[in-house]
Amino acid sequence: MDLRVASSDELDTVLAFWAVAAENDHRPADSRAAIAALHLRDPGALILAVDGDEIIGTVIAGWDGWRCHVYRLAVAPSRRRQGIGRALIEAAEERFRALGGTRADAMVLDDNPGAHGAWAAGGYRRQAEWSRWVKPL
């Protein structure tokens, strides 16, 4: 397995990967325009785990100049529990540290216990003092 940044010609493949591998409930739908905008704005944010030509995991290490947000942590269903998710989390954290970030956070669905296990294993703790307020634009 290698970890590397996604190239612009892989974005459709990443979208197809997320359709089968990612958490897709209670969130805005992914789109080609949205992933292209991410890649244009911050080409280093979308990190892939690959096995040869095959994408087996993803994470978005989003740095906005102020905070560090992790999105789209996903591992191919057939490749789970092999340490890929852990490696992707660590790759995101490495990027954040290099950029000067001091804390990473992730949005995690309450009814996604597998994700809770992965984040907890990575050292993340639920922050009970805050909840997310949203408004569709």
Ligand X SMILES: CC(C)(COP(=O)(O)OP(=O)(O)OC[C@H]1O[C@@H](n2cnc3c(N)ncnc32)[C@H](O)[C@@H]1OP(=O)(O)O)[C@@H](O)C(=O)NCCC(=O)NCCS
In the complex, residue closest to ligand X by CB: 117
Closer of 91 and 115 to ligand X (Cβ): 115
Closer CB to ligand X, 21 or 104, in the complex: 21
- Cβ of residue 105: shortest distance to ligand X, in angstroms? 11
Gyration radius of the chain's alpha carbons: 14
Nearer to ligand X, 26 or 97 (CB): 26
Q: Nearer to ligand X by C-beta: 63 or 71?
A: 71
In the complex, what is the shortest distance from the CB of residue 41 to ligand X, in angstroms, rounded to a whole number?
22
Chain residues binding ligand X by CB under 6 A are 21-23, 73-75, 80-86, 106, 108, 112, 114-115, 117-118, 121
CB of 107 to ligand X, least distance (A): 7
* Least distance in angstroms from the C-beta of 131 to ligand X: 16
Q: Collect contacts of 67-72 with beta carbons under 8 A, ≥24 apart.
A: 67/101, 67/103, 67/105, 68/92, 68/96, 68/99, 68/101, 68/102, 68/103, 68/104, 68/105, 69/104, 69/105, 69/106, 69/107, 70/104, 70/105, 70/106, 71/106, 71/107, 72/18, 72/22, 72/46
Q: Give the β-pairing of 54-63 and 68-75.
A: antiparallel
